[in-house]
Chains A and B, each alone.
Chain A
Amino acid sequence: MSDEVASREELLKTIDYVPAKQDLYKPNLEFRPGTWNYPANPKKAELVDLPYPREWNPTDLDWKLPENWKEIILKGMEERLDRYRSLRVYLDICVRCGACADKCHFYLGSGDPKNMPVARTELMRSIYRRYFTVGGKLLGGAAGGRELTEDVLKEWFYYYYQCTECRRCSVFCPYGIDTCEITMMGRELLNLVGIGINWIVEPLSNCFRTGNHLGIQPHAFADTVEFAMDDVEEITGVKVNVPMNKKGAEILFVTPSADYFAQPHWYTFLGYMMLFHELDLDYTMSSYASEGGNFGLFHSAEMMKRLNNKIYAEAQRLGVKWILGGECGHMWRVIHQYMDTINGPADFLEVPKSPITGTVFENAKATKMTHISEFTADLIKNNKLKLDPSRNDQWKITYHDSCNPARAMGLFEEPRYIINNVANNFYEMPENTIREKTFCCGSGSGLGTDENLEMRLRGGLPRGNAVKYVKERHGVNILTCMCAIDKATLPAVVDYWVGDVEIGGIHELVGNALIMKDEQKPRTTDLRGDPLPGVEGSEEGGE
């Protein structure tokens, strides 16, 4: 019997230490649960006339593609190569220098070589070579081309929904190739044959029909705003009023719907309302344009245009002078980089001018839409706000530059200026993880859903790692950011990689510090309802 027992060495050889080696040109079709998103609900897709709505499952062999899928994809590529010169240039000029390779948070977190931005682009570039270049047409694989097969399409689905379009890689590319745009094109092409994900299609469909991602109808939206007004009154004793659909108001305020629905966004929403009340601002919210976010950006240029148009149509209908935007991420990419060419010029509006300080926001001349952190920083700079930073002493704060305000707008200083004026304890994360080099939350561009949690945790590793560093070094206990997706998804990221760090918004801190003239008695809690430092029940105790 003993002769039949394998030796230790033999047994060891049976242990599979090493993951299978990957061939970059061979499609990877292993879809581990937790790493991909559920397909679009056909009913939601139909509501916005998306092509080939159907029930299908990424783990099935048959994705129920239309018969002429290959023709559709190649025609779609041809149209986009023609329409976007940038796409053709990006596909042609990469010299594979590798500068982008280790800059992607998904690559760093997954260790999957196909997540190197250069390799992710190669998934499409190989098809481009095969079908759209002379060398590829003649020599095929020898010229770096490959056949377009269903497996290639499946791999596109896997990897183009494993890029959050954060554009960190583009910061390091010596040629300025924006790999995010490759992902955008990949998703557009997939959507042409009805391959889309529900976390994108449902919000955009809801937004188109009811005004916001969550599908909250106008009366319920008005109610939630009313509940927030009640909360402000309960905490501060001040009754604030939020005008709704008010024609002739000076400013239309648009913010992501999560601000008036989810936590911790809610506290930021309270902060906005307190600030506007204190300024006696002539503004309005809109139940038609009740969403700042634009999931169309993650779907196709057409959907982005349709959703963005609602905000401007409403601004025109209400007759406002300009638009103020809340703490959102990708809304600002749409406004700053696409709005003027897809729906502009917004010449029925005026260049934003602060009614309080008289500052004209020349940088918003084209879109007539100003970011709330620019607006608030200007108020503080001009001494228009009375602030008590000690009301944020319970927090040791760090700031996550949300990708789009940072890389798509260059909005680095204003949030920091605000934080430093409304709080006493601010600590930066390391230089190579912030500002234009900021690491993504790992859940942007429509990937922030629960079925995709493991992939999100992979993507969140570098950000989590930097947060852990400031937590250990300075005792940081809150990570602030100004993006609704960050606020929704960073709790999971810090929970796994760091632990015991809260997530909050900039205007939550503003609301805490803001001394309101109508306040009759000292505040005892912060906007979360937790006792302020020095007050009975707080960690520091008190009388």
Chain B
Amino acid sequence: MLETILSQKKGAIAGKWLELIADSYPAGVKILADKDKFTNPVGYILSSEIEVLYDEFVHDQIDSERATIALEEIIRSKAVQDRTPGQSVSFVFLLKDVIRAELKSQVKNKEFAAELAKLEERIDNLACQAFNVYTGCRERINQIRTNEIKRDRDNANRLLERFARKYGDQTVEVASGYDRSEVTE
């Protein structure tokens, strides 16, 4: 029953949710002002993906592939910004406030109590998923950092290996930690 109402009120609820998320950006940042996909990527992604996420949520599909993609799209930028982990995923909880406010009359009705509790549980689960996605982004950043350092090392080692071939082992000894077994012919 609540699900039907949530579907019917999609425009109001998802719209309000988006507004609250936009408000979480610092003063002066009008994140939704420009609708262009390329000149305002963060605003565009928020507008489109929150709608997708809301649909998946209403239809109890929060662990669907599409919901995960939507979370990834939204969280990827938050994960590199000046936000704590909590601030990066807390946008999910804002949905609770919006639903309670928008369904004020129904919320008071005891008939809906159980349904509402389930919905809120679903939001909690969505938040857990958001945190998984956030952690995945941070792990990716660490992997990229490692890859970059490895690439630098590989660049140096590749040349050192060739120096070693040309001049013998003397050059290789300069590089600490270099695996000499790699240069033996």
| Given A111-B81, A469-B38, A12:B93 Cβ within 8 A | yes
Q: Is A465 within 8 A of B28, CB to CB?
A: no
Listed stretches A70-78, A303-311, A358-366, A491-499; interface member: A491-499
Q: Which residues in B have their C-beta under 8 angstroms from that of A522?
A: none
Q: Which residues in B have their C-beta under 8 angstroms from that of A12?
A: 93, 96-97
Q: Is B159 within 8 A of A496, CB to CB?
A: no
- Proximity string of chain A (460-472) to chain B, C-beta cutoff 8 Å, 1 when within and 0 when not: 0110011001000
Contact of B38 (CB < 8 Å), options: A103, A220, A432, A495: A432
Listed stretches B9-17, B18-26, B56-64; interface member: B18-26
Query: Closest CB-CB distance, B31 to chain A, in whole Å?
Result: 7
Q: Is B80 within 8 A of A433, CB to CB?
A: no
Is B135 an interface residue when CB atoms closer than 8 A count as contact? no
The CA of A428 and the CA of B57, in the complex, are separated in Å by 36
Q: Is A113 within 8 A of B38, CB to CB?
A: no
| Given A12-B97, A15-B90, A263-B155, A465:B41 Cβ within 8 A | yes
Q: Is A15 within 8 A of B93, CB to CB?
A: yes
Q: Is A102 within 8 A of B40, CB to CB?
A: yes
The CA of A16 and the CA of B81, in the complex, are separated in Å by 15
The CA of A491 and the CA of B144, in the complex, are separated in Å by 9
Q: Is A227 within 8 A of B23, CB to CB?
A: no
| Given A18-B23, A19-B24, A224-B159, A495:B82 Cβ within 8 A | no
What is the chain B residue whose CB lies nearest that of A449?
Answer: B148
Q: Is B41 within 8 A of A108, CB to CB?
A: yes
The CA of A32 and the CA of B138, in the complex, are separated in Å by 14
The CA of A12 and the CA of B99, in the complex, are separated in Å by 14
Q: Is A110 within 8 A of B82, CB to CB?
A: yes
Q: Is A102 within 8 A of B39, CB to CB?
A: yes
The CA of A491 and the CA of B87, in the complex, are separated in Å by 28
Contact of B87 (CB < 8 Å), options: A19, A227, A454, A497: A19
What is the chain B residue whose CB lies nearest that of A23?
Answer: B27
The CA of A223 and the CA of B162, in the complex, are separated in Å by 9
Chain A, interface size: which category? 35 or more
Within 8 A of B (CB), among A443-462: 450, 453-454, 457-458, 461-462
Is B134 an interface residue when CB atoms closer than 8 A count as contact? no
Q: Which residues in B have their C-beta under 8 angstroms from that of A224?
A: 159
The CA of A132 and the CA of B37, in the complex, are separated in Å by 42
Q: Is A469 within 8 A of B24, CB to CB?
A: no
Is B122 an interface residue when CB atoms closer than 8 A count as contact? no
Is A112 an interface residue when CB atoms closer than 8 A count as contact? yes
Q: Which of A20, A30, A465, A497 has the most CB of B within 10 A?
A: A465
Is A17 an interface residue when CB atoms closer than 8 A count as contact? yes
Q: Which residues in A have their C-beta under 8 angstroms from that of B82?
A: 19, 30, 32, 35, 110, 112
Is A430 an interface residue when CB atoms closer than 8 A count as contact? yes
- Proximity string of chain B (52-88) to chain A, C-beta cutoff 8 Å, 1 when within and 0 when not: 0000000000000000000000001100111110110
The CA of A34 and the CA of B94, in the complex, are separated in Å by 29
Q: Is A109 within 8 A of B80, CB to CB?
A: yes
Contact of A111 (CB < 8 Å), options: B42, B86, B155: B42
Is A52 an interface residue when CB atoms closer than 8 A count as contact? no
Query: Closest CB-CB distance, B35 to chain A, in whole Å?
Result: 12
The CA of A453 and the CA of B96, in the complex, are separated in Å by 35
What is the chain A residue whose CB lies nearest that of B120?
Answer: A8
Main secondary structure of the interface of B (DSSP, over half): helix
Q: Which residues in B have their C-beta under 8 angstroms from that of A263?
A: 151, 154-155
Q: Is A223 within 8 A of B28, CB to CB?
A: no
Query: Closest CB-CB distance, A8 to chain B, in whole Å?
Result: 8
Contact of B37 (CB < 8 Å), options: A15, A21, A461, A469: A469
Q: Which residues in A have their C-beta under 8 angstroms from that of B40?
A: 102, 108
Is A22 an interface residue when CB atoms closer than 8 A count as contact? yes
Q: Which residues in A have their C-beta under 8 angstroms from that of B131?
A: none
| Given A15-B90, A492-B148, A111:B29 Cβ within 8 A | yes
Q: Is A262 within 8 A of B145, CB to CB?
A: no
Q: Which residues in A have their C-beta under 8 angstroms from that of B141?
A: 34, 453-454, 457, 496
The CA of A503 and the CA of B59, in the complex, are separated in Å by 41
Is A24 an interface residue when CB atoms closer than 8 A count as contact? yes
Q: Which residues in A have their C-beta under 8 angstroms from that of B159?
A: 224, 227, 261
What is the chain A residue whose CB lies nearest that of B142?
Answer: A453
Q: Is B144 within 8 A of A492, CB to CB?
A: yes
Query: Closest CB-CB distance, A190 to chain B, in whole Å?
Result: 22
| Given A457-B141, A462-B38, A496-B140, A111:B26 Cβ within 8 A | yes
Q: Which residues in B have their C-beta under 8 angstroms from that of A34?
A: 141
Q: Is A22 within 8 A of B96, CB to CB?
A: no
Contact of A461 (CB < 8 Å), options: B31, B42, B151: B42
Q: Which residues in B have their C-beta under 8 angstroms from that of A461?
A: 41-42, 77, 80
Q: Which residues in B have their C-beta under 8 angstroms from that of A262?
A: 151, 155
What is the chain B residue whose CB lies nearest that of A465?
Answer: B41
Q: Which residues in A have their C-beta under 8 angstroms from that of B96?
A: 12
Q: Is A113 within 8 A of B140, CB to CB?
A: no
Q: Is A432 within 8 A of B155, CB to CB?
A: no
Q: What are 9 of the A-B contact pairs (CB < 8 Å)? A: A17-B93, A102-B40, A111-B77, A220-B163, A223-B162, A227-B159, A263-B154, A461-B42, A496-B144
Known A-B contacts: A450-B148, A465-B41, A496-B76. Give 20 more (CB < 8 A). Answer: A12-B96, A15-B93, A16-B87, A18-B24, A19-B82, A20-B26, A108-B41, A109-B77, A111-B26, A111-B42, A112-B29, A113-B27, A261-B159, A432-B36, A433-B38, A450-B152, A457-B80, A457-B144, A491-B151, A492-B148
The 10 closest A-B pairs by CB, nearest first: A113-B28, A465-B41, A21-B27, A457-B80, A17-B90, A430-B38, A227-B162, A18-B24, A492-B144, A454-B80
